[in-house]
Amino acid sequence: MSIVNPLRVKGYSKSQLSRTKSDRADAKLIAQFCRDLKPAPWQPSAVEVSQLQGYTRRLDALEHMLTEEKNRLQVTPQDFEADIVAHIQFLQGQVETVKKALARAYSGP
């Protein structure tokens, strides 16, 4: 099994001057692509890489939520300010927790 960027297959399709768009034609084109270009087999990520991706994805999500809440704080009615400030503080704590866990998990010897 291989994982290939769909744009590569699309480029291959253009190079073959293929215009037919049906499931059968697409399957044939993908089979020809694999036969001709022999894409590398998929290898699962190492456990460490998967964990690092998990940490960084979580950190990105938290930082995105933090930015949203900070932006929201600038335009929100005063009635909701305390709630948003509390949420910002919570998110900041979560960001620090993930950063510390990431540093612990991936600190050098």
- pLDDT, tens digit, 9 for 90 and up, residues 31-68: 999 999 999 999 988 888 898 999 999 999 999 999 99
- What's residue 109's pLDDT? 52
My answer on whether 27 and 51 are in the same domain is no
31 inside domain? yes
Give residue 5's region: left, alpha or beta (phi > 0; psi -120 to 50).
beta
**What is the rounded average pLDDT of the residues 4-22?**
89
Predicted local distance difference test score (pLDDT) of residue 59: 97
- For residue 108, pLDDT over 60 is answered with no
Is 1 part of any domain? no
Residue 27 pLDDT: 93
Mean pLDDT of all residues belonging to the chain: 92
pLDDT at 89 > cutoff 70? yes
Looking at residue 106, its pLDDT comes to 77
In angstroms, the Cα distances linking 29 to 37, 38, 39, 107 are 12, 13, 14, 46
In this prediction, residue 96 has a pLDDT band, given cuts at 50, 70 and 90, of very high
| pTM score, whole prediction | 0.64
Confirm whether 88 is domain-assigned.
yes
Co-location of 57 and 99 in the same domain: yes
Is residue 67 a part of any domain in this protein? Answer: yes
Q: Please indicate, yes or no, whether residues 31 and 51 belong to a single structural domain of this protein.
A: no
The whole domain housing 22 covers 6-37
Please state the domain count of the chain: 2
